[in-house]
Chain A
């Protein structure tokens, strides 16, 4: 059974800092991995999707990497801003619908 773990569970950083969120999964037989953002009272917004054949994806200040063989992904956020404060979720898709981690709650302090 696929299990997804995210570290740290919570993170607080000053504005402008670069930061890394970590995600690991137990079964490397995945089709893809996604990073989502969740704001309180709102649904999830997909940030980046990495196919199993890819190593990384970039969107603006966000960069996500995937090492499928070791079961790891990282989300790098450059020059963090208070508006980046949210919960970031990692999810993998294998033969079943998405399996999610518990998320990292990020606070960026102005």
Chain B
């Protein structure tokens, strides 16, 4: 079956612009996670959605970052007023159980 998909695969933007990154999880997966992987850094947890519960936003680095999950399926990560330090690969994962996360291929964001 289809895995987790993310779009776009690459995004180049100018400093100060807003960007939206999309994640399509595996159908039926109740949990969805966003991570960020900066150059030379490990994966950094950003936000976690579980069913209809309030999301765990504890990893968001600033109020310029936000995410939504509509209808318990597709999620959009929005970064407002992008900065050069936002350049990274943004990975999405979905799961039925918290122990087994399936990762998408990521979106490579470059802020010029």
A-B interaction: yes
List of A residues within 8 angstroms of B43 by Cβ:
44, 89, 91, 98, 100
Q: Does B54 belong to the interface (CB within 8 Å)?
A: no
Contact A102 B4 (CB under 8 A): no
> Which size bracket describes the interface of B in this complex?
20 to 34
What residue in chain A is nearest B104 (Cβ atoms)? Answer: A43
Q: Does B91 belong to the interface (CB within 8 Å)?
A: yes
What residue in chain A is nearest B45 (Cβ atoms)? Answer: A97
Q: How far is the CB of A35 from chain B (nearest CB, A)?
A: 13
Contact A96 B42 (CB under 8 A): no
Chain B at the A interface: SS class: loop
Q: 1/0 per position for A80-93, CB-CB distance to B under 8 A?
A: 00000000010101
Contact B91 A44 (CB under 8 A): yes
A46 to B106, CA, bound (A): 16
Q: Does B65 belong to the interface (CB within 8 Å)?
A: no
Chain A at the B interface: SS class: strand
The residue that A96 contacts in the complex, of B35, B58, B104, with Cβ under 8 A, is B58
List of B residues within 8 angstroms of A43 by Cβ:
3-4, 91, 93, 102-106
Q: How far is the CB of B111 from chain A (nearest CB, A)?
A: 19
List of B residues within 8 angstroms of A103 by Cβ:
42
List of B residues within 8 angstroms of A97 by Cβ:
33, 45, 48, 56, 59, 98
List of B residues within 8 angstroms of A32 by Cβ:
99
Rank and list the top 5 A-B pairs by shortest CB-CB distance, nearest first. Answer: A43-B103, A100-B43, A44-B103, A100-B42, A102-B42
Name 26 interchain pairs, CB-CB below 8 A, sorted by A. A31-B99, A32-B99, A34-B99, A42-B106, A43-B4, A43-B102, A43-B104, A43-B105, A43-B106, A44-B91, A44-B93, A44-B103, A45-B103, A46-B101, A89-B42, A93-B98, A93-B99, A96-B58, A97-B98, A98-B45, A98-B101, A100-B35, A100-B42, A100-B43, A102-B42, A103-B42
Q: B: which residues have CB within 8 A of A?
A: 3-4, 33, 35, 40-45, 48, 56, 58-59, 91, 93, 98-106
Q: A: which residues have CB within 8 A of B?
A: 4, 31-32, 34, 41-46, 49, 89, 91, 93, 96-103
